[in-house]
Structure 1
Amino acid sequence: MIDPVQPPRRKNPLLRTRLPASPPRPRSRTSHGFTRAAAEGRFVLQRCEACGAFAYPAREACPACLSAGLSFVDAPRRGVLLAETTARVPSDVYFRERAPWRIGLVKMDCGPTMVAHLHADCVEGAPVVMSFQLDKSGQAVAFARPEGETPNMADDRQWREMTADPKFRRVLVTNGRSVIGQEAVAALKAAGAKTVFVGVAEPWRPFAGEQLLRGQQGVEVVTLDASDEKSAADLAADIGGKVDILVNTTEYVRPGGLLDRRGTSIARDEIDQAYLGFVNLAQAFGPAMRMRGADGVSSSAAWVNILSVHALANWPAFGAYSASQAACLSLSHCLRAELRPGGVKVMNLFTGPVDTEWFQTVPPPKVAPRAVAQAIVSALRGGLEEIYVGDVAEEIRQRLAANPKALERELDK
């Protein structure tokens, strides 16, 4: 049985912060099929198009019939733990600091045998459920958990290394004026976050939901205007060393594309709020988060961006807004690479039109702000990188994979 995670003790400022280390990173190009699946929370294996056999690890030819026709497909997750061992003095720096570390051999019901990291409640000879998780180096690794729920299952030490569970962590939500931001605060507190800092620009100006925010225990309203470089830097100087998870809820939604607008004032506002706001937040909070990636139970763990799915495919009705979101998506890839040495995950949560005032005239289906907040918590607990929330986002993801040009034409209506 796993002991529940305890709230971290107050840190001694005289003690040195442990520097983050990364597990081995090299992978073959073919094996990044598992990386893509892990980022989305899927479990895939290669399957031979000729004989139908599943294969693992990633190969160029089927081990059964030598056919080169191997494709990644969703696969059954169930298997049996054949054997397990505990590495007590690993040679790798990352695992040495976290020893003892359990690994085991799992025989999958669909055929292959996999070497996997083990949840503490896995028992030799018992059924397990497999998943691919992104480790601290951003690479996919196999992880085995018990088939049924066990007490304190999410508190397993090795599992927490693969995820960014908000339990007992301190979170910054960058825009408390937005409905999504307020729902995110409630969801994160319900998930066990120790403290939620809520950024509010011009706090002297009242807004809907303010009293509810200020009345919650463990919620601290702070002054933050993401579009103002000094505001972000001042807040980071105050709480930058305390932020374990940053949820970027900054938004600026306006309809229109290029030809129906006059001038660039709205476009500048979109860039200032979304893109440059992202830049200001990253430069202010990113360095400290990267340095605290191995700081015990309350180490920095994740940066979450809430983006429109039209960052992937421009929606002309909101064309300029889609372009600003695409810029943020590209910037998130840069941030992910720069935070990776610290083991901090960068998660992008893609939504369709949200049920807020600026999408009032857009017909259903829309995404409820509460659904976005719940997806944030779910993604943190699962250690994901790419999350699609709502029917529109999921449909665009599938149609992009099938025929990007058809999607481009159909959005132009």
Structure 2
Amino acid sequence: MTQALPPPPRKDPQKRTPASARPPEARSRAAMGLTVAAAEGRFALQVCAECGTVQYPPRDACCGCLGTDLPWQDVSPDGELLADTMIRASTKQFFRERSPWRTGSVRLDAGPTVICHVHGDCARHGRVTLWNKLDRSGQAVLIAVPPERTPLMQDDPILRAMSADPKHRRVLITDGRNPNALALVKSLQGAGAATIYVGESETWRPYPHRAALEASDVEFMPLDVTDAASVKRMAAEYGGKVDILINTAMFLRPGGAMARGDTSFAQQEMDVNYLGLMRLAQGFGPGMCARTGDGVNSAVAWVNLLSVHALSNDAGFGCFSASHAAAYSLSQNLRADFRTSGLRVMNVFTGPTEDDWFQALPPPKVSHNALAKSVVAGLQDGLEDVFCGDVARDVWERFNRSPKVLERETTMGVDGA
């Protein structure tokens, strides 16, 4: 059985911080479909459209009939562990640092037999479920886990290496004024976060849940994402202590370009939602990237809270959607910048939340607790893209089917999201 993960020892500041090692990342173009599914938390394999064969590893042609129409489809992840072994020596630095490493072969109920990582709680020759996860290189890998969750399951070294679990880690929430901040604090504490820092801009100005945050045993820091000096100052003081950064800074006003008399609100939206993210990345990014190999509480994740209409503009909040589209594009750039370090960028997309500025919109809306739970679950599952709420999932599904149709629905008055 998996042993409880002990808290990390106090770090010796005189010792060198270990450099980050990444697992092998070379993949074929055909295998990228597996990575796409892993980023969204799905288990999908190629299924031949001509003969129905489910195949693994991914190929350019069907292993049964040589057909080339191989769409990716969600299939059953259940199977039987045929054999397993412990790897105690490897040519790859990533695995040498984490040996012994359990691997094995699993025969899926869907047909293929796969070589995969094996969770420590899996019984030999027993039933298992395969999880499709992203490793530190950002590529998909398969992990066999017990069919039923076991105590301390997330503490397994293999799962820990593939996730961004908040347990024993220090988290920075960049804007405590965000209505979701308190729920995030409670969910992160419930997940075992060691320390939670909460940023505050204009500390003299009160806000409703300030007292509740104080009572939650968090550490406040003066952080204003619109002020480069403030970000640099806090990054210099706390950058080496932050393991997970959750960017909650947001400026929101309704209306599109024609509905506004000037560009003042649009400038503020871009300054907070887009340029604020850039300032945070420039300030905290280097320190976090340098600590991705730092043991139990290494830096692991950068989280952005985005409107799902970053994918396709919502006319009612047109300029706000545009600022989040810019932030979404920047988050993709951050994935490239963070790639060599293994620091993961997770985008959490939501529809309307229970905030004052969305008051006029009809339900369904995303509650603060639901959003916080989605963030923590996404970190524990090691996801890149999380869609929280019915509206976000609906927009994502329609965007995948046809971005142009979705654009027409959201801009021409057709009943949409």
Match of 2:393 in 1: 394
Q: Percent identity, please.
A: 49
Distance in 1 (CA, whole Å) between partners of 2:283 and 2:68 is 49
* Cα separation, 1, equivalents of 2:338 and 2:181: 23
> Aligned equivalents of 1:24 and 1:403: distance in 2?
34
1:407 deviation in Å? 1.1
What's 1:267 paired with? 266
Aligned-partner Cα distance in 2 for 1:277–1:403: 31
Deviation of the 1:320 alpha carbon: 0.5
Partner of 2:92: 92
TM-score of the two chains, using structure 2 as the length reference:
0.97
Distance in 2, matches of 1:36 and 1:120, equals: 26
Which amino acid is 1:53 matched to?
A: T
Q: Could you tell me which amino acid in structure 1 is paired with residue 316 of structure 2? A: A
Mapped partners of 1:336, 1:171: distance in 2: 19
Alpha-carbon deviations, 1:63-119, whole Å to 9, x = none? 122222211000001011111111111001111111111111110011000110111
Runs of 4+, deviation exceeding 3 Å = none
Structure-2 separation of matches of 1:320 and 1:216: 35
Residue 184 (structure 1) aligns with: 184
CA distance in 1, matches of 2:124, 2:67: 34
Q: CA deviation at 1:234?
A: 0.8
Q: Which residue of 2 aligns with 1:256?
A: 255
Q: Aligned ranges for residues 173-322 of structure 1 at < 5 Å?
A: 173-217=173-217, 219-322=218-321
Which residue is equivalent to 2:33? Answer: 33
User: Any gaps of 5 or more consecutive residues in structure 2?
Assistant: none
Tell me which amino acid in the other structure corresponds to 1:317: G
CA–CA separation in structure 1 for the residues paired with 2:222 and 2:265: 24
SS of residue in 1 equivalent to 2:167: coil
| Residue type of the alignment partner of 1:149 | R
SS at match of 2:240: helix
Counterpart contact for 2:182–2:212, Cα < 8 Å:
no
Aligned to 1:24: 24
Partner of 1:57: 57
Q: Counterpart of 2:354?
A: 355
SS of the residue 1:70 aligns to: coil
> Partner amino acid for 2:279?
N
Contact kept, 8 Å, 2:185 with 2:216, in 1: the verdict is: no
- Secondary structure at the aligned position of 1:142 is classed as strand
Q: Match of 1:84, SS?
A: strand
Q: Distance in 1 between matches of 2:324 and 2:68?
A: 39
Contact 1:21–1:341 under 8 Å retained in 2: no
Amino acid at match of 2:193: A
Aligned AA (1:29): R
Q: Are 2:8 and 1:46 aligned?
A: no
Amino acid at match of 1:398: E
CA shift digits 1:283-307 (9 cap, x unpaired): 1100011010010000001000000
**Separation in 1 of the partners of 2:396 and 2:274?**
23
**How far apart are residue 147 of structure 1 and its match?**
1.2
Query: The residue matched to 1:3 in structure 2 has which SS?
Result: coil
Q: Helix, strand or coil: the match of 2:89?
A: coil
TM-fit CA distance, 1:406: 1.6
- Is 1:142 the counterpart of 2:142? The answer is yes
Deviation at 1:151, TM superposition (A): 2.2
Contact 1:62 1:68 in 2 (8 A): yes
Q: CA deviation at 1:123?
A: 2.3
Q: Quick one: which amino acid aligns to residue 397 of structure 2?
A: Q
Deviations 1:16-35 (A, max 9, x none): 11000111111111111001
Answer whether contact 2:171 2:245 (CA < 8 A) is retained.
Answer: yes
| Aligned-partner SS, 1:86 | strand
Note if contact 1:174-1:181 (Cα within 8 Å) is conserved in structure 2: no
> How many residue pairs align between the two structures?
412
2:310–2:322 contact (8 Å) kept in structure 1: yes
Match of 2:342?
Answer: 343
Distance in structure 2 (CA, Å) of the matches to 1:367 and 1:148: 29
CA RMSD of aligned residues (A): 0.9
Q: Give 5+ residue unaligned stretches, structure 1.
A: none
Q: Which residue of 2 aligns with 1:108?
A: 108
Q: Deviations over 1:254-291 (max 9, x none)?
A: 01111121221111100111111101110110001101
- 2:152 & 2:314 partners in 1: Cα distance? 44
Aligned residue for 1:172?
Answer: 172
Query: How far did residue 150 of structure 1 move?
Result: 1.8
